[in-house]
Amino acid sequence: MERSTIVRVHDGLHARPATRFVKLAKSFEADIELVKAEKSVSAKSSVKLMLLGVKENEEVTVRATGADAIEAIEALIGYLENPLSGTGEEGAAPAEAKPVDVVPRKEPVAVQAPVSIQGGIRGVAASEGFAIGPAFGFFPQEIKQENRMLGHDEIPAEVARLRQAFATVQERMERSLAASNLAESDRGIIAALKDIASDEELTEAAAALVAGGIDAVSAAIGATSKIADDFAAMDDPYLNARADDVNAVGRQICLALLGQDDANLEAIPEGAILIAEDIGAWDLARAPLKRIAGVICGHGGATSHVAIIARAHGIPAVLGLGQAVHELETVNTVALDANSGLIFANPDETTARRFHDEIAKAEAVKQSLKAYKDVTPKRADGTVIEIAANLGSLEEIEAAQEAGAMGVGLFRTELLFMRHIHLPSEDLQAETYATLAKAFAPYPVIVRTLDIGGDKPISGIDFPVEENPFLGWRGIRMCLDRPDVFKPQLRALLRAAVHGNIKVMLPMVSGVDEVRATRLLIDECAAELKAEGRDHAVFDLGIMVETPAAVLVAPMLASEVAFFSIGTNDLTQYIMAADRLNPTVAKLNDVTHPAVMAAIALTAKAAVEAGIMVGMCGEAAGRADLIPAFLDMGLTELSMSPSSIQRAKKCVLDLGAAA
């Protein structure tokens, strides 16, 4: 069996998405291939998958043979078509909650010689910020190939030694993954490295070299270098940067073969600037990152895992210096401007003072925003504006709490359905919603019922083939047609509502009939729970306003529901008749277009006149330049990514102070 689709995973199948895709593929017994432009590779090899170079918006085919081929194709196609399925999975970092996998700047060419600019050296600005501190050189000894030829009788033992080294490295990485102090963003990176270390493409290539009579260390270097060169030759910056990861894994294999421990960063002093020719993500992720003030590296660029780790932890980083990094081996103090990529060795008093001033300014801004974590923003008239979080999984709760979220304005339930091979049970759903409610009590938690369609299918629901799934059988339309799917979710929500702060909203509503039909199902579910003697409670029912139809009949809908939440992402694409995933019409997806702003204003007016709450859960809710207009329209709740919450609170308070 086979099925083709367009890849919607952000930036394609680079390291972590490939790791998750492979893990999903390995959960099936079927033989599975991924095909791109007539080239096919095993879907159970992350190395082969990454080397296929699958990018976002490219067409691929999933081909499967075996007893569970149908289920495998449905699950893998669902992963490829749903951008959310690349987040919040098996301990990986949720993309919307952490500064990981951000859209990169174009990878600059590494500087191979010092470029003097007013006494500074320029590299690649990979993680913004300013830093100055004592230099800490990290230049581990290079491991060289022995190129020792084996006797025929030595080969079996050498192959066994090689395989044991691979197993040792995998075990070390597994222990690191189990560490409680490892950040979730770093956990995802180490999981990707472990997947490379266990990939048959690498292990068998190295074993084949040993079988041909080459010593294990030389074979490990040769096999990893070959794969790293393949990555380095690719034109995609994310995949190009994976060459460093493969070489880092190769080094760990060699160290295991030699019975050595690599140099580590445990001795780095507080506030030091880490300087290295090359540093693997494996080393940096396990380092005492809170002590590191900045990172300078000869290798790497804005899309390397070192850059990703640095950004995730707010560490300024300048990479890609090439051989120029060795000019810094003997310096005592280093200053780096990671906004422009400039490095100053042993800065003079004037330069040092300038850097200390810049650091103080940046810290002041950061600290000033932290002050808004626990504040309750109000308008000049005393109206409280709730600044809530958009979440897709329980793993994102901590980031939202740390940001000071006043509840959850949108909990997407799709991932709960998509991360399981079978439809999630009522009990599992009830436990998930209850955990969410308790985490944010007494603030409200708004759960969106299943918003899924042919563009992001799930196991257990057969979706028709549609020319345009965004205009097809999805959201409330599908749920009302499938009460066997919808009722367990409604029952679970009624059970979780006993905590007192659960609200429920319906997606893709076009008219009052859909709301009334849902109320009948809710009443039916409540009656069943009562008959069964199960605790449950009523909840406020609202809708997402994201279709033009809902905008035009907003006064009628306002008389049927307890609240509106405006979903600007879909509303914009429907108002503008422009697919928001189509790059050729991307400029039309502008929430500030007069037509879209008029639709938001009409929706808010209907809600205000009916006396119900109106909020927003689209990306526009976190835009400081638009918040004043939204509040003037009557919105009293804004839900956004956790990283925008403190800035939004400040914006609301500033408006109140200026009134």
**What is the Cα 541 distance to its own chain's centre?**
30
Cα–Cα distance, 405 to 400 (Å, whole number): 5
- The answer to whether the CB of 621 falls within 8 A of the CB of 76 is no
Half-sphere exposure of 39 (CA within 13 A, CB side): 9
Considering 254, 479, 525, 617, which one is annotated as catalytic? 617
Give 46-104 as a DSSP string. Answer: HHHHHHTT--TT-EEEEEEESTTHHHHHHHHHHHHH-GGGGSS-TTPPPTTTSS-SPPP
Cα separation, 439 vs 67, whole angstroms? 42
| Distance from C-alpha of 463 to C-alpha of 458, rounded to nearest angstrom | 9
> Strand order of the sheet with strand 342-345?
116-117, 120-122, 342-345, 333-337, 130-138, 272-276, 292-297, 317-319, 124-127
CA–CA distance, 93 with 83 (Å, rounded to integer): 14
Q: Identify the helix (H) or strand (E) that includes residue 642.
A: none
Please tell me which residue in 14, 299, 305, 536 is annotated as part of the active site: 305
Farthest CA pair distance, the chain: 88
Starting at the edge strand found earlier in the chain, the sheet holding 31-36 runs 2-6, 59-65, 31-36, 39-42
Q: For residue 421, what are the CA distances in angstroms to 446, 484, 576? A: 26, 17, 36
Q: Is 305 a catalytic residue?
A: yes
Let me know if 617 is a catalytic residue. Answer: yes
CB 239 within 8 A of CB 229: no
In this structure, the strands spanning 31-36 and 59-65 are antiparallel
Omega within 30 of 0 (cis) for the link into 442: yes
Q: How far apart are the first and last CA of the chain?
A: 64
Residue 544: phi and psi, rounded to 5, are -85, 130
In whole angstroms, what is the distance from residue 161 CA to residue 150 CA?
13
Helices and strands: H and E segment counts in the chain: 24, 21
Give CA–CA dist 446/284, Å, rounded: 38
- The rounded distance, in Å, linking the Cα atoms of 219 and 230 is 17
321 Cα distance to chain centroid: 28
Alpha carbon distance 333, 273 (integer Å): 8
Helix axis angle, 200-211 relative to 242-258, nearest 10°? Answer: 50
Structure letter (DSSP) for residue 314: T
Contact 356, 293 (CB under 8 A): no
How many CB atoms are located within 10 Å of the residue 379 CB? Answer: 16
Instruction: Examine residue 377 and say whether the peptide bond preceding it is cis (omega within 30 degrees of 0).
Output: no
| Residues 6 or more apart in contact with residue 379 via CB below 8 angstroms | 385, 631, 652, 655, 656, 659
CA distance linking residue 75 with residue 294, whole number of Å: 41
Q: Is 566 strand, coil or helix?
A: strand
Q: And the tokens for 63?
A: 């081909």
* Catalytic residue IDs: 305, 617
